[in-house]
Structures are given as C-alpha cells and as structure tokens.
Structure 1
Amino acid sequence: MFCRNCGKELTGTPEICLGCGAKPLVGSSFCHACGAETNPLAEICIKCGVRLAKAEVVGRRWMPTAAGILSIIAGAIGLLVGVVVAAVGEIVGEAEGIFWFGAIGAPFIGLGIVAIIGGVFALRRRIWGLALAGAICSLCFPPYSWFLAIPAIVFVALSKREFV
C-alpha cells in the first residue's frame, strides 16, 4: 500500500502516513497500489490498472457539531415549555377541578430530554440513530423550534459517515 498524498510505501494498514502525516487515502496524487503519480481526477491508475480509492470526505465534520448544538437548544426550549405547561396546567387544573391537567407538559419534557440526549450524541459523533431521533424530537415544539430542528435533522442525515 502506498500513501495517496506523498507516494511513500506503507507497511500494513496504518492510520497515518509517517512520511507526510496525512491519512493514507486522503490524497489523490499517487496510486495506492503501485505508488505511481496519478491525475487527481483519474479513476483508474494508468500504470497498474487498479481502481483508485476515492479520497476520504473532508469538510463535513462541522455538521454533527452544528446538529448537536441545534438539537440541544431546541431540546432545552422544549424542556422549558414542558415545565411551564406542567406548572401552569397544575394551577389551572386545580382551579377548575381537573387535577390531571398538569400532565399535559409531560410529553414536552420527555421529548425535550430525548432531543438533548440526541444532541449530546451528535456532538460526540456516536450512535447516529439516537442523534437523528433527538433531532426529530426537537421538531415537536412548534413553531419556534422548527428553525433549529429542520437544519439539525438535515445535518445529522448528511453526516451519517462521520458517526462511529
């Protein structure tokens, strides 16, 4: 195996090339099979005929971070709304004689907690499904959190490969 960035021969499958410090498949200047120089746009090495490995996607690392922050903010809004609805519902319910009226805030509190947990997992780039579920749960607090939740869902969905 050869580094696609500097062309140095590598033993085994190292994470980092000792010659240039880059990940071995990040570059596009050399063939990973024979080490020959290649055109960055080429899909097949002219010297050995092997299909060239595509360069790893670089530049999407900000998406899970942004999605996590947006989900946490939307979840905090939902949690706050749930607490306020539960408190006001309890007061109104007590005055009207409907004692379970404060329980209306419980789903908002639950969805807010799931959105916050999903945001934390998005920030850590762990468990893509939970991060997506958190972003979707942050959508459940209309209309003020939609501006946060929709980009969070899109960012989590587009950055699936960033998750471990």
Structure 2
Amino acid sequence: MENTWMPKVAGILDIVAGAFALFIILIWALWFAAFSYFIPGGPAEFHDFPMSIMAIIFIPMSIFLLTAGILAIVGGTYALKRKKWKLALAGSIASFFGSSPLGVAAIIFTALSKNQFE
C-alpha cells in the first residue's frame, strides 16, 4: 500500500501532545515552588492542607506525566520515520495523557496506518 499522510500527522500530534505534557509539568513545578516559597504558611484556606500532602499528590503525577510526555515525543519521532509501529502506538497512547483530543486522533491515525511501518 502507498504511503499516506496518517503516520506523519500522528507523529506531529504525538510530539505536540508530549511537548504540552512537559509544559504542564513546568507550570506545576513553578506553581508549587512559588506557592511553597512566597507563601510559607500558605493562604488561610490552605492551613489545614500541608505542603507535604501537596507534594505527595503532585510529585507522582509529575513523574507520570513526564514519562508520558517523553514517550509521546519518542513515539512521535518513530511515527514520522515510519519505523517501529509498536513504539509509535505506545507514544500515541502516551500522548493521550498530555492532550486527550490530540492523543485520540494520534491513536486512530497510528492504528490505521500500521501497514505503512517497517
């Protein structure tokens, strides 16, 4: 079958969603750092919600999103090269966590273009 546009679009969507996931992590890190540095006790409504609990929530979420973002970018590059379909599909699935609409489209395009990969 001839090469179509689907793997390239899926790769671009993967890379954009992965970059967006990394951007979200940056925003979280800046927010968390600013919140813990500039407001040592936190605002009045957060006095019963200590920073350690916020760290317990945000650190695993950030690690998961970092892993998903990197996997989405790597999978997107393989989709652009039309190599290693399984890795491209894994990147598309990981891109779902960075941006759901882009991830769904990337999953569909990668799955439909399986026979175009080496």
Shorter-chain TM-score bucket reads 0.7 to 0.9
Deviation at 1:151, TM superposition (A): 1.1
In the alignment, which of 91, 98, 102 is matched to residue 134 of structure 1? 91
Distance change >3 Å, CA 92–CA 98, structure 1 → 2: farther
TM-score computed with the length of structure 2 as normaliser = 0.77
Measure the CA separation in 1 of the matches of 2:107 and 2:72: 11
RMSD over aligned Cα, in angstroms? 2.0
Within a 5 Å distance, the mapping from 1:1-164 to structure 2 comes to 57-58=1-2, 60-93=3-36, 95=40, 96-98=50-52, 101=55, 103=59, 104-141=61-98, 145-164=99-118
Report the structure, 1 or 2, having the larger helix content: 2
Relative contact order, higher structure (CA 8 A, sep 6+): 2
SS at match of 2:52: coil
Structure 1 length as normaliser, TM-score? Answer: 0.57
Aligned positions, number: 104
CA distance in 1, matches of 2:105, 2:51: 42
Structure whose alpha-carbon radius of gyration is higher? 1
Where do 5+ consecutive residues of structure 2 fail to align? 41-49
